[in-house]
Amino acid sequence: MLALKAAPLAVGEAHLPRGTFREEPPSPGAKPCFLVPKEKWSDGEWLVRLADLTADEIHRS
């Protein structure tokens, strides 16, 4: 199964469409990540914003 995953940070959760995401580990035993809804995969502007928000949050911590 092809999947696009993002770090499970509060800024990412706020950016994901309400009720359309779930958390799942990228591999057995790993911490859960957000699964990005397939309808967002082709929205380059939205994906860049998610990546920017995630990177900013990681650099602040």
Pairing of strands 5-6, 33-35: antiparallel
Q: What is the extent of the structural domain holding 41?
A: 5-60
- Domain count across the chain: 1
Q: Is pTM beyond 0.85 here? A: no
Q: Please, where are the H alpha helices in 1-61?
A: 10-15, 44-60
pLDDT in tens, 3-56: 777 777 778 777 777 776 778 887 888 888 888 888 888 999 988 988 898 888
pLDDT band with cut points at 50, 70 and 90 for residue 1: low
Answer yes or no: are the C-beta atoms of 12 and 54 closer than 8 Å. yes
pLDDT of residue 18: 74
pLDDT of residue 42: 93
pLDDT of residue 44: 94
